C-alpha cells in the first residue's frame, strides 16, 4: 500500500510517499481502507517534536511509529479475531490517538474507537470531525457549559474553534467568537451572537464579562482572563502559546477557588461515547464540519505546512481516495 512515512523528526520535508506492507488487524482490531484523513496540530507536534515532551511519548531520538494521521474515515476491509462490531464494507470514522497511521491507504484500528459514519456525510466531512469536535465537546463540558451562559471562544475559526462555536450554541449559550478579520463572517454563519475581530478590538479591555471562556487559541495571560471572567466564571485552555500552558499549570490551581473563578487545561481523550453523541448531531444537521482545504495523499506534507502556519479556517482534509463529486 502507499503511505506517507517519516523516520526522523523535522519539517514536513522529512515525509515521503512510500510503498509499504499493508497492516494486518490483530484481535479486537479492524482493517480500514482509508478514504479520507484530516490533519491536526497533534500531527504537527509529532512530526516536528517542537514540544520536547513529544519525544518522551513518541520516541526520544526518532519516532517509534512512522506513519502520522489521527483522524480517519473509510470502509472496513477485514476484521480481526473477536471483532464483532463491524462488517466488511461498513463506513466508519474515528480518532486513533494516542496511536496514528491514517496517512496511508490502510490502517489497523481497535474497533472500540470507531463509529459508523452518519449517512449524510462524505468521507472527507467525516474525517474532519473526530479529534477536533471531541476536543471542542470536552472543553465545553470541562467548563460546565449551560444554557443562557455568556461564553467567549478565543480562536473560534480553526478546526477546534469552528466546532466549539457550534456546540456552544447547541448547548444554548450566548456565544462571542474571537477570530481574525477574514473569519468574522464564518463565525457568524456558524451561529456566534457576537464576533470580535482580534485585530481591531481587545476583548480583555472591552469591559464585558463572561461565564465561560474556552480558548482553542490563547495568547492572553491569566491576569487578563481574570478581569473578563464573571466572579464564578470558568476558563478552559485548549491550545495556544506554550508559555501560557506552563503559567496555567503552575498558577491555575492556586487561582481556582471553590465557588469562585476556575482555570483549567483540557487534556482531550477520544472515546466512542462522545463520537456517538457527535454523530447524532451531525446526522440531525445540528453540527457540520467546516473544511478549508483538501489535499491528495501525496501532498500531505503541504497540508501539514499549511496547518502549521496557524491560520487554517476550519479543517484541512487528506483525500486518500478521490470521491466522485
Ligand X SMILES: NC(=O)c1ccc[n+]([C@@H]2O[C@H](COP(=O)([O-])OP(=O)(O)OC[C@H]3O[C@@H](n4cnc5c(N)ncnc54)[C@H](OP(=O)(O)O)[C@@H]3O)[C@@H](O)[C@H]2O)c1
Give the nearer residue to ligand X in terms of CB position, either 73 or 108. 73
Q: How far is the CB of 54 from ligand X (least distance, A)?
A: 11
Q: Which residues pair with 152 in a beta bridge?
A: 176, 213
Give the nearer residue to ligand X in terms of CB position, either 80 or 191. 191
Give the nearer residue to ligand X in terms of CB position, either 202 or 280. 202
Are residues 209 and 261 in contact, defined by beta-carbon separation less than 8 angstroms?
no
Give dist(CA 151, CA 129) in Å, integer.
22
**How many CA atoms are closer than 13 Å to the CA of 102, on its beta-carbon side?**
36
Give dist(CA 113, CA 256) in Å, integer.
34
Q: How far is the CB of 163 from ligand X (least distance, A)?
A: 8
Give dist(CA 243, CA 87) in Å, integer.
47
Q: How far is the CB of 178 from ligand X (least distance, A)?
A: 5
Give the nearer residue to ligand X in terms of CB position, either 7 or 201. 201
The helix/strand count (H/E) of the chain reads as 10, 15
| 54, 79, 92, 173, 288 from 102: Cα distances, Å | 19, 17, 13, 35, 22
The residues that touch ligand X, with contacts defined as CB under 6 A, are 40-41, 132, 135, 154-155, 157-161, 178-180, 183, 198, 216-217, 219, 238-239, 266-268, 307, 310-312
The secondary structure of residue 297, as a DSSP letter, is: G
Give the nearer residue to ligand X in terms of CB position, either 71 or 319. 71
Q: How far is the CB of 274 from ligand X (least distance, A)?
A: 13
Q: How far is the CB of 239 from ligand X (least distance, A)?
A: 2
Q: How far is the CB of 157 from ligand X (least distance, A)?
A: 4
Q: How far is the CB of 50 from ligand X (least distance, A)?
A: 10
Give the nearer residue to ligand X in terms of CB position, either 31 or 177. 177
| 89, 190, 229 from 210: Cα distances, Å | 47, 20, 5
Q: What is the number of the residue whose Cβ is closest to ligand X?
A: 158
Are residues 49 and 12 in contact, defined by beta-carbon separation less than 8 angstroms?
no
Give the nearer residue to ligand X in terms of CB position, either 27 or 267. 267
Amino acid at each position: 500500500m502507499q503511505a506517507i512515512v517519516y523516520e526522523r523528526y523535522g519539517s514536513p520535508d522529512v515525509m515521503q510517499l512510500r510503498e509499504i506492507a499493508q497492516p494486518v488487524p490483530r484481535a479486537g482490531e479492524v482493517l480500514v481502507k482509508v478514504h479520507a484523513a484530516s490533519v491536526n496540530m497533534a500531527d504537527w507536534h509529532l512530526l516536528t517534536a517542537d514540544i520536547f515532551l513529544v519525544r518522551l511519548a513518541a520516541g526520544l531520538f526518532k519516532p517509534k511509529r512512522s506513519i502520522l494521521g489521527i483522524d480517519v474515515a473509510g470502509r472496513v476491509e477485514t476484521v480481526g479475531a473477536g471483532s464483532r462490531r463491524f462488517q466488511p464494507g461498513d463506513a466508519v470514522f474515528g480518532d486513533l490517538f494516542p496511536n496514528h497511521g491514517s496517512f496511508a491507504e490502510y490502517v489497523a484500528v481497535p474497533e472500540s474507537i470507531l463509529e459508523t459514519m452518519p449517512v449524510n456525510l462524505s468521507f472527507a466531512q467525516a474525517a474532519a470531525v473526530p479529534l477536533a469536535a471531541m476536543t471542542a465537546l470536552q472543553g465545553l463540558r470541562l467548563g460546565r457549559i449551560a444554557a443562557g451562559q455568556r461564553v467567549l471562544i478565543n480562536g473560534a475559526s480553526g478546526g477546534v474553534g469552528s466546532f466549539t462555536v457550534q456546540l456552544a450554541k447547541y448547548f444554548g449559550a450566548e456565544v462571542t467568537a474571537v477570530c481574525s478579520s477574514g473569519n468574522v463572517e464564518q463565525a457568524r454563519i456558524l451561529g456566534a451572537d457576537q464576533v470580535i475581530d482580534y485585530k481591531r478590538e481587545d476583548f480583555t479591555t472591552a469591559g464585558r464579562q463572561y461565564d465561560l471562556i474556552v480558548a482553542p487559541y490563547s495568547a492572553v495571560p491569566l491576569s487578563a482572563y481574570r478581569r473578563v471572567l464573571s466572579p464564578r466564571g470558568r476558563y478552559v485552555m485548549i491550545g495556544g502559546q506554550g508559555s501560557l500552558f506552563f503559567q496555567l499549570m503552575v498558577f491555575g490551581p492556586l487561582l481556582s477557588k471553590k465557588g469562585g473563578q476556575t482555570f483549567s487545561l483540557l487534556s482531550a481523550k477520544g472515546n466512542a461515547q462522545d463520537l456517538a453523541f457527535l454523530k447524532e448531531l451531525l446526522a440531525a444537521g445540528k453540527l457540520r464540519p467546516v473544511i478549508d482545504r483538501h489535499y491528495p495523499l501525496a501532498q500531505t506534507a503541504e497540508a501539514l505546512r499549511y496547518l502549521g502556519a496557524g491560520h487554517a479556517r476550519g479543517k484541512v482534509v487528506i483525500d486518500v481516495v478521490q470521491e466522485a463529486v
